[in-house]
Each structure stands twice: as C-alpha cells, then as structure tokens.
C-alpha cells in the first residue's frame, strides 16, 4: 500500500470506530498511532506519543480553557445569571411569545459568562421552562426555545469551541471572539423573529401574559443583573481594551466570578468545589480529544492526505463557495451523530489545508464551523441540548415533542447560516474595525 492509501484506510477505520460509539479521543489517538507506526516504524511512533501530549497540554493558550470553564460553572452554581431571565421577562413578556423571547435574550446574556452551550441551556432551562409551562405555553415551544437559545453560548465569547479552533488553526483568539458577537446576536434575533411570527399566526402557542409591571420594577431588574454586567465589563473590557490577553482573560474571569459570587453570598465552599470539579472533568475530556486530533494531524501529514486533498481541490477548480457548501453538508450530517468538539477536531486536520489552499478567511471559516456545530446540538437523533432540557423537565414533556418544537429553530438557524455564508462582512466587520 502507498502512504496515501494507508491514510485513506486510516480515515475509513476511524469512521467505523466512531459509528460503533468508540469515544472520539480514543478513536483519534489509536488510529493515528497505528497509522504512524505503519508509515514510520515503532521508534518514531513512540517518540510522537511521548512528545505530542506534553507539547499540546503545555501550550500556554490552552490554560484559558479550564479558566473559562470554571467561570461558567461558578456562575451556574452561584445562580449569578438568574436575574437575566427576570430582566428579559419584565421588559418583554407583553410581546407575543414574550416568555420564550425572554428566554432567548436571557441565554444570550448568559453566553457572555460561559463558553458552554450545554451549561447555558441547563441554566436557562431550569428557570424559563417552568415559567412558560405555568403560563400554558405550547410544550414544544417552551422546551425548544430554551434548547435552541442555549446554542448561542458557542458563538458569543468566551467560547470554548472558538478557543480550540483558534489554537489548532493558529488564528488570533481575540479576533475570533469579537467575530462571534454579530453572528451570535443575529442568531438570537432570528430565534426571536421566528417565535414572534409563529405566535402571531397561532396565538394558542403562547397565551398572553397579563402582568402589571411598573417602570420601577423594570429598572430594579436591571440593577439585579449587576454581577453579570460587572463580569462582562471586567473580562471583555480588559480583553478588547488591551489590558490583558485572551489567555489571561480566562483567569481574570474565573477569579472575578468567584469574588462576585462570594460578595453576593451565593457561593459557598461545597458549590465552589462542585464548580471546580466539573471544570476539571470537562477540561480533561477536551484535552484527551485535542491530543487525539493533534496525532491525527501528524498522521495525515505523514501520509500526504492533506496535500493530496488540497491539490485535488485546486486541480478541479472548485470555488470558495462550492467548497464551503460541501463542508456545510459534512458538518450538518456529522452534527446529527457526534458531539461538537469531536466533530471539529476530527475534521480540522482534513479541511484546514484545503481551506487555506483557496485563501478562505479563517476567522470567517471558524465562525461558520461553530455555527454548524450549534445546529448539531439541536438536530435529531443526538441533539445534546434537547436531552439536557429533557433531563430538566423530566416526564412533563416527551422527547419527541421537544424535537418537534426544535425544528422551527433549526430552520431559523439555517437561514442565519445562509446569511453568514452569503455576507461574510457580518462576521468580519468587528474584527477588521477593532484590529
């Protein structure tokens, strides 16, 4: 077999392992090591397995991963974000579908303090879904709106997915973070518009909430969100103001969230221990997958697969748009079966050389990838956010009803994705202006 055939066989075996539900990190690492052994022999394979994990985990930028995760988990366990939904509800509940719209904006606000879509959906789900069910909202709309809104956490910084993409693609993290703002807000706006139009057409989906709210109560609710406002200003004001780097921003955010939570008396030692433990577990899972992806990158490079694909794309005269549309299909299909981080780190070693060969802007491409992964979080049969919400509501709402309600949000997401592909300026406007 030629080196290229060995690389192709490795990809086929990898896909097979993933189909039989072998953990992504183990599948990536094992296939890569066996492939490198076949290509180069035992000593090079042992040398790579010795060096690569340490070099990757010791990467300075990766130290921000556990810090941003800790910030999000502290905010979650200390209930620092509960005021966000109350604020949105008091200002928006009079609108058609106001509680569902409030859950979308509440999730968008929570996204600014956590890089995890799952944590965002869980935090907003335990607050917003019971409120909507109490108001006799359609069950599919109630659960679907929160499950979909949770995905905004992957775009609005700090985003763990954008952070990992920036490290692997060697793209400035700050540019990626600021590039995610407008696509994240556009996603929220599309969800809100879809809810508004649906409820206008079918009012029984969301009965009107008649709540007498004074302006004093509304502005008091604004004051209640001071922990999140202070945290966002402290982290992103310093980050985009040049006071500290994106890597340092994670540590600043984690420390600031702990201080704020203790000042509010919403955080005790057991809760801090739980937040730290969950951050450590999530970090370990991310690093294992990242090590496997790094090994796969080496294996495909040694086999010549990356160069072969890049040369083939250039020889066929494939345009940037055709390539992006093809990649879109791959990501949307994979998103139905695999977890977001696994998809990204599985495909980057294959797609990055091809994308670079066509001079596609990597900031734009990174945001598109995260948008693909967002959609995968809510598409059946393995919509992770759907099952997070199911775990919260229990027997009150059936899984099939949640998936039925989520389909409208998938349509809204696809429209948003089309806008981001058709108008790259939406993504690139802020990075080009600020940098």
Q: What's the whole-number mean pLDDT along residues 113-137?
A: 82
pLDDT tens, residue by residue, 207-243: 876 667 777 877 777 777 888 888 888 888 887 777 8
- Residue 145 DSSP symbol: H
**Residue with more model confidence, 371 or 266:** 371
Give the C-alpha distances (Å, rounded to integers) separating 138 from 39, 197, 203, 229, 418.
58, 15, 10, 32, 28
Give the C-alpha distances (Å, rounded to integers) separating 108 from 14, 130, 171.
36, 19, 25
Q: Note the pLDDT of residue 91.
A: 81
Residue 117 is assigned to a structural domain of this protein: yes
Question: pLDDT confidence of 305, banded at 50, 70, 90?
Answer: confident
CB atoms within 10 A of CB 23: 16
Torsion angles phi and psi, residue 94, rounded to 5: -75, -15
Give the domain range for residue 115: 62-434
Residue 387 is assigned to a structural domain of this protein: yes
Residue 127 is assigned to a structural domain of this protein: yes
Using CA atoms, how far apart are residues 239 and 174, in angstroms rounded to an integer? 8
Residue 19 is assigned to a structural domain of this protein: no
Question: pLDDT confidence of 54, banded at 50, 70, 90?
Answer: confident
Residue 9 is assigned to a structural domain of this protein: no
pLDDT tens, residue by residue, 324-356: 999 998 888 888 877 788 888 888 888 888 898
Token couple for 18: 């993933």
pLDDT at residue 116 is higher than 90: no
CB atoms within 10 A of CB 399: 16
pLDDT at residue 435 is higher than 70: no
Q: Note the pLDDT of residue 214.
A: 73
DSSP output for 200-221: HH-GGGS--------HHHHHHH
pLDDT tens, residue by residue, 136-185: 999 999 999 999 988 888 888 888 889 889 988 889 888 998 999 999 99
**Residue with more model confidence, 247 or 66:** 66
Q: Among residues 185, 178, 199, which one has the least CA distance to residue 419? A: 185
pLDDT tens, residue by residue, 392-421: 888 888 889 999 999 999 999 999 999 999
Residue 46 is assigned to a structural domain of this protein: no
Using CA atoms, how far apart are residues 100 and 137, in angstroms rounded to an integer? 9
Residue 1 is assigned to a structural domain of this protein: no
Residue 176 is assigned to a structural domain of this protein: yes
Using CA atoms, how far apart are residues 209 and 325, in angstroms rounded to an integer? 42
Q: Note the pLDDT of residue 115.
A: 67
Q: Note the pLDDT of residue 210.
A: 66
Number of domains in the chain: 1
Q: Among residues 377, 351, 406, which one has the least CA distance to residue 154? A: 377
Residue with tokens 């004093």: 216
Using CA atoms, how far apart are residues 208 and 214, in angstroms rounded to an integer? 18
Average pLDDT value for the chain:
86
């Amino acid at each position: 077999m030629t080196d290229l055939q060995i690389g192709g066989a490795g990809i086929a075996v990898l896909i097979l392992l993933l189909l039989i539900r072998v953990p992504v990190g183990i599948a990536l690492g094992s296939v890569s090591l066996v492939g490198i052994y076949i290509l180069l022999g035992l000593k090079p394979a042992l040398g790579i397995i010795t060096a690569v994990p340490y070099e990757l985990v010791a990467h300075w930028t990766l130290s921000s991963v556990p810090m941003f995760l800790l910030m999000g988990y502290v905010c979650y366990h200390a209930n620092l974000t509960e005021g966000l939904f109350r604020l949105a509800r008091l200002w928006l509940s009079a609108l058609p579908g106001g509680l569902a719209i409030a859950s979308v904006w509440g999730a968008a606000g929570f996204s600014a303090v956590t890089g995890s879509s799952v944590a965002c959906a869980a935090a907003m789900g335990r607050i917003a879904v019971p409120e909507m069910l109490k108001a006799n909202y359609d069950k599919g709309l109630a659960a679907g709106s929160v499950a979909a809104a949770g995905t905004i956490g992957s775009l609005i910084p700090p985003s763990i997915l954008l952070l990992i993409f920036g490290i692997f693609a060697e793209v400035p993290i700050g540019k990626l973070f600021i590039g995610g703002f407008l696509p994240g807000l556009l996603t929220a706006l599309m969800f809100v518009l879809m809810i508004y139009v649906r409820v206008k057409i079918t009012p029984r989906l969301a009965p009107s909430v008649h709540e007498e709210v004074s302006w004093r109560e509304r502005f008091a609710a604004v004051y209640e969100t001071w922990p999140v406002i202070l945290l966002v200003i402290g982290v992103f004001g310093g980050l985009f103001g040049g006071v500290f780097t994106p890597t340092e921003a994670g540590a600043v955010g984690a420390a600031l969230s702990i201080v704020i939570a203790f000042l509010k008396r919403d955080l005790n030692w057991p809760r801090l221990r739980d937040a730290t433990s969950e951050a450590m577990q999530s970090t370990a899972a991310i690093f294992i997958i990242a090590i496997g992806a790094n090994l796969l990158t080496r294996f495909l490079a040694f086999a010549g697969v990356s160069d072969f694909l890049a040369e083939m794309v250039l020889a066929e005269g494939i345009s940037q748009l055709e390539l992006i549309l093809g990649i879109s299909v791959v990501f949307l299909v994979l998103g139905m079966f695999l977890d977001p981080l696994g998809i990204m780190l599985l495909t980057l070693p294959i797609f990055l050389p091809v994308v670079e060969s066509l001079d596609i802007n990597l900031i734009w491409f990174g945001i598109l990838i995260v948008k693909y992964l967002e959609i995968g979080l809510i598409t059946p049969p393995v919509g992770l956010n759907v099952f997070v919400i199911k775990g919260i509501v229990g027997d009150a709402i059936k899984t099939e009803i949640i998936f039925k309600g989520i389909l409208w949000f998938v349509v809204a997401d696809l429209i948003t994705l089309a806008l981001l592909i058709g108008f790259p300026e939406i993504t690139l406007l802020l990075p080009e202006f600020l940098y």
